Amino acid sequence: MSKPEVAIPGSPVVPKMVGPEHVIQFSCHKGIGCWNACCSNIDISLTPYDIIRMKKRLGISSTEFLREYTVPHEMEKDGIAGVKFRPVDNGTACRFMKAEGCSVYEDRPTACRYYPVALLSMRKQDEYTDTESYALVKEDHCKGHEVARRVTIADYRKEQGVEEYDELARGWRQLILKKKSAGPAIGAPSLKSRQLFFMACYDIDTFHDFVESEAFGKLFKLPAEEKAMLMADDVELMQFAFRFLKQVLFGENTIALDEAAAKERVEKWRARQMQIEREAAERLAKLEEGMYEDTDECVENEGSCSRD
């Protein structure tokens, strides 16, 4: 399963992809000389499930959590919205780091659980499911690699409670891989679709209001029982958000549409497109008219214009 990779200069990622049975030597425990070093200089991307766990832990809405504790970023120039932890003001440390360790340990994000292992998800264009492999992150400050404890990556994932986190982020990872493997043929997503992706993936409380709205109910035919279940459970709603995005971004229809409302929507969209084209043509005509008027003046006033 292991395969040589090209080393990235200065990167702490060991350039070798390995499988779940690969054995690593690592242990992290209170009292180790580098305690908290990894949380003092963070670059942590969050998954949708990480956000649900964190906002629940802090007793705030996803909108508040995003505003207070995160910064948005673009993932690998693919026009895909991502979210990272915002460090402390004027510093690089995690806001949840305390002298005794992580203050949100039971709900810490996926990246914190995985460290010093990195998850690499890949999907080939002609394959629907993604394949997962791993790489080791070796940073000079981390003394955990010097502790003589050997463990397979599979057991380490179990020990750190990563399996549940990965399972619940699968739909999100598939969306990202789908966009990446679609390549430039699909082009950069519109601002509207990026906003929709951000809301559905990261701001679950706003997505909740959206699904509950009259406009959503008019367009999508959700059985009352299913809707009630989604409205009561953030994790179910998050899985539904991934389905919803697959439908609106990639045309993978799994949510029934109200045919009449969908037709009305398409007609409205066409009418709007025609209006935009008409307005653009009018603006162009006015611009050309203005150009010729200027040129006529030039002929009359200067007598030296080269126009025939």
Chain residues binding ligand SF4 by CB under 6 A are: 28, 32, 34-39, 42, 44, 94, 96-97, 102, 104, 108, 112, 115, 141-144
Tokens for 20? 């779940």
Shortest Å distance, C-beta 40 to ligand SF4: 9
Shortest Å distance, C-beta 108 to ligand SF4: 4
The CA-atom distances, in angstroms, between 90 and each of 41, 66, 94 are 12, 19, 12
Q: Based on CB atoms, which residue is closest to ligand SF4, 138 or 194? A: 138
Nearest to 56 by CA among 88, 104, 113, 111: 104
Shortest Å distance, C-beta 97 to ligand SF4: 4
Shortest Å distance, C-beta 82 to ligand SF4: 17
The sign of the dihedral angle between the CA atoms of 218, 220, 226, 229 is: negative
Q: Based on CB atoms, which residue is closest to ligand SF4, 37 or 255? A: 37
Helix (H) or strand (E) holding 24: strand 23-25
CA–CA gap between residue 290 and residue 59 (Å, rounded): 61
**Phi-psi category of 101—alpha, beta or left, where left has phi over 0 and alpha has psi -120 to 50?**
left
Shortest Å distance, C-beta 116 to ligand SF4: 6
Q: Based on CB atoms, which residue is closest to ligand SF4, 52 or 211? A: 52
Q: Based on CB atoms, which residue is closest to ligand SF4, 37 or 222? A: 37
Kindly report the number of other CB atoms within 10 A of residue 60's CB atom.
16
Shortest Å distance, C-beta 183 to ligand SF4: 33
Shortest Å distance, C-beta 130 to ligand SF4: 25
Phi first, then psi, for residue 121 (nearest 5°) are -105, 135
Shortest Å distance, C-beta 83 to ligand SF4: 14
Q: Based on CB atoms, which residue is closest to ligand SF4, 140 or 259? A: 140
Measured in residues, the chain has a length of 308
Q: Based on CB atoms, which residue is closest to ligand SF4, 50 or 178? A: 50
The string of DSSP codes covering 111-135 is HHHHTTEEEEEE--TT-SS-EEEEE
Q: Look up tokens 């409380």; give the residue.
A: 205
* Beta strands at 3-4 and 23-25: parallel, antiparallel or unpaired: unpaired
Shortest Å distance, C-beta 147 to ligand SF4: 8
Q: Based on CB atoms, which residue is closest to ligand SF4, 143 or 265? A: 143
Phi first, then psi, for residue 297 (nearest 5°) are -60, -40
Q: Based on CB atoms, which residue is closest to ligand SF4, 111 or 175? A: 111
DSSP annotation of 18:
B
Contact status, residue 299 vs residue 308, Cβ threshold 8 Å: no
Q: Based on CB atoms, which residue is closest to ligand SF4, 54 or 200? A: 54
Q: 3-state DSSP call for residue 200?
A: helix
